Amino acid sequence: MTVPVLLAVDEDERLLGAIERELSDRYARGYRIVCVGSAARAMEELRALADAGEEVALVLAAQSFADTSGSDLLGRVRELHAHAQRGLLIEWGSWGDGQTAGAIYQAMARRHIEYYVIRPSQSPDELFHQSVSTFLLEWAHARRVSPHTVHIVSESWTGRSHELKEVLGRCAVPHSFELADSPIGRTLVAESGDGEPLPLVVFPNGTVLANPTNLELASAAGATIDPDKRAYDVVIVGGGPAGLSAAVYGASEGLQTLVVDNGGIGGQATSSSLIRNYLGFPRGVSGRRLAERAYEQAWVFGAKFAFMHDAVALRREGGRVYVALSDGGEVEARAVILATGATYRRLDVPELEQLVGAGVFYGGPASEAPTTVDEDVYVVGGANSAGQAALHLAEYARKVTLLLRGDSIEKGMSHYLVRQVEITPNIDVRLRTEVVGGGGDSEGWLEHLVLRSRDDGATEKVKAEELFLMIGAHPNTDWLPPELARGEGGFIRTGEELNGDGWPLERCPLALETSIPGVFAAGDVRHGSMNRVASAVGEGSIAIRLIHELFATEQLQARA
């Protein structure tokens, strides 16, 4: 069996030698190290490796190879090795000169590199190795060879197997999907002792579950599914960025904190492949990774979690708030934070609804993108999430078409994303166009779409292997009682926005407090929210600060 290759290219022999030593010392057991002195030699190597079926995990190239012509070495790596990570080697401190900074901005904007790497300056150079291991972990995730990958084996992509994939995705568990009649699928079925009903879920520790329930699956994946007691200081409904942030601050500040979520962690953020605008993550962070870290952080502070439970009702009685759960249980708290976010609207094209999971996906392509190599894919939506999805897909797919109903891409998308979309050669933007039909191939995977022009109503059938839908969201507030005031579209009104509407107490509502005293709202579910990870995180922490204020006032009133 061949081992993956780490390829370094630098014209300076001495510098290349230092990189070769550093890579060989640390990685030679699991990877083959190839070092070459020119872009032409590097391309030859990459081609020969592709022809021989050998995989390249990482290409490190000196700054001189990152020209802006678009035909540079780093920009072409993915034509031959779709999952290879690409790093630009720079000198320590050189980011101060305009040329290096310019090369980095350009290469990142064009998605020719994942990030830059500072050349090793001593041996061992742990900073250098941290960069290399981060690249290798990303490569392993994209190749589905990361440790602890859970395999789902099924006869079809849709239906229950798609739901199982979603559950694992929501629990932030790396997973892969194998058709039962594929070579890997057959091996996994045989190893699990033939005869079990499909879909099968095979865990890295040898556990095999045959068509498990969501609760069984989440529990086997290590997610806690039951509250360990019934009374808390704070119950947070929703484990997205807002809920996780509230959990970190609540638990770290000594509040008995429970998070209830009807899936796993991360909310919408788990469908974001690369969040580049969240403070402290200069190379970007996948929504899933961010959620995993936040979950761990809340957990080590002592926050409790109950996954796979819908909150189905809420009432306030005797100064306490009660939240009823879908399993029939109820939890109570001195205060509740509603952080239930929002969910994507459906497209409402029946033939495409049948293909959800089989080429049609709601939300971002975080886990599907690496499988779209050489495909024609479509993204529907005009907001940042759609722009991000298109860019991520463009790294793998042959062609990405971004479809917008409106007449301008600038209206809903941040300027930096618009710029990146415009300069990415394999992204096409089609304005005033909507998806009105589609169909699958003989294996039940998406094969074509029917598009309609909003100008003249003309329809067109186009070949499409994947479709990602990001077409606006509605808040998850239907389960809340009528006395909880909501604004336009059902988003929750808070603080000054309530304008006294339905507010029952003499004191004014606190900033993120809803019309039910002691019940707060944070993140995308709140009317007027900013729909950003950072703002959701900020509001989660503010809600906890306000809850401290509320508890202090209640204590004073109790003493008076």
Ligand X SMILES: Cc1cc2nc3c(=O)[nH]c(=O)nc-3n(C[C@H](O)[C@H](O)[C@H](O)COP(=O)(O)OP(=O)(O)OC[C@H]3O[C@@H](n4cnc5c(N)ncnc54)[C@H](O)[C@@H]3O)c2cc1C
Token pair for residue 245? 């942030």
The minimum distance between CB 544 and ligand X, in angstroms, equals: 14
Phi, psi (deg, nearest 5) at residue 3: -100, 150
Positions in 258-277 near ligand X (CB under 6 A): 260-263, 267-269, 271-272, 275, 277
Our finding on whether 214 is near ligand X (CB under 6 A) is: no
Mark the segment that binds ligand X (CB under 6 A) among 140-148, 197-205, 234-242, 485-493.
234-242
Looking at the Cβ atoms of 142 and 390, the one nearer to ligand X is 390
Binding-site size, ligand X (CB under 6 A) = 40
Q: Between the CA of residue 3 and those of 36, 57, 78, 128, 162, what are the distances in Å?
A: 18, 10, 18, 22, 32
Of the listed pieces 73-81, 338-346, 425-433, 505-513, which binds ligand X according to CB under 6 A? 338-346
Write down the least CB distance from residue 475 to ligand X, Å. Answer: 9
DSSP tally for the chain: helices H, then strands E: 14, 26
Task: List the interface residues with ligand X, window 70-109 (CB under 6 A).
Answer: none
Is there binding between residue 339 and ligand X (CB under 6 A)? Answer: yes
Figure out which of the listed residues 367, 385, 424, 433 binds ligand X, where binding follows CB under 6 A.
Answer: 385
Q: Is 358 helix (H, G, I), strand (E, B) or coil?
A: coil
In the chain the first and final C-alpha atoms are separated, in Å, by 77
The two three-digit tokens of residue 433, written as one number: 């166009």
Per the CB < 8 A criterion, the answer to whether 459 and 452 are in contact is yes
User: Under DSSP, is residue 535 helix (H, G, I), strand (E, B) or coil?
Assistant: helix
Pick between residue 87 and residue 238 the one whose CB is nearest to ligand X.
238
Question: Structure tokens of 418?
Answer: 């618009």
Cα–Cα distance, 151 to 276 (Å, whole number): 29
Which residues ranging from 517 to 546 are in contact with ligand X (CB under 6 A)?
523-525, 531-534, 536
Of 14, 9, 131, whose CA–CA distance to 60 is shortest?
Answer: 9
If you ran DSSP here, which 8-state letter would residue 523 be given? G
Cis peptide before 350 (omega within 30 of 0): no
- State which of residues 87, 363, 495, 509 lies at the interface with ligand X (CB under 6 A): 363
The encoded tokens of residue 281 equal 């993550």
Residue 181: exposure state from Cβ atoms within 10 A (0-12, 13-18, ≥19): exposed
Q: State the amino acid at position 111 in one-letter form.
A: R
Identity of the residue, 56 or 290, whose beta carbon is nearer to ligand X in the bound complex: 290
414 binds ligand X (CB under 6 A): no
The interface region with ligand X, picked from 47-55, 216-224, 337-345, 427-435 by CB under 6 A, is 337-345
Of 388, 401, 433, 494, the residue at the interface with ligand X (CB under 6 A) is 388
Among 75, 169, 174, 240, binds ligand X (CB under 6 A): 240
Quote the DSSP letter at residue 119: P
Contacts of 282 (CB under 8 A, 6+ apart): 115
The yes or no reply on residue 351 touching ligand X (CB under 6 A) is: no
**Looking at beta carbons, which residue is closest to ligand X?**
341
Of 536, 524, 525, residue with least CA distance to 291: 536
Cβ closer to ligand X: 8 or 471?
Answer: 471
Amino acid at 227: P
Q: Which of residues 302-321 bind ligand X (CB under 6 A)?
A: 310-311
Question: Contacts with ligand X in 422-481 (CB under 6 A)?
Answer: 476, 479
Q: Least distance to ligand X from the beta carbon of 404, Å?
A: 16
CB of 536 to ligand X, least distance (A): 4
Is residue 150 a contact partner of residue 144, using CB atoms and an 8 Å limit?
no
Residue 286 interacts with ligand X (CB under 6 A): yes or no: no
Could you tell me which stretch among 35-43, 134-142, 151-159, 237-245 binds ligand X (CB under 6 A)? Answer: 237-245
Tell me the two tokens of residue 279. 């403070």
Pick the binder of ligand X from 35, 59, 342, 393 (CB under 6 A).
342
Q: Is 161 in the site for ligand X (CB under 6 A)?
A: no
Q: Which helix (H) or strand (E) holds 200?
A: strand 200-202
Among 340, 372, 401, 494, binds ligand X (CB under 6 A): 340
Nearer to ligand X, 34 or 429 (CB): 429
Footprint of ligand X (CB under 6 A)? 237-243, 260-263, 267-269, 271-272, 275, 277, 310-311, 339-342, 363-364, 384-385, 388-389, 476, 479, 523-525, 531-534, 536
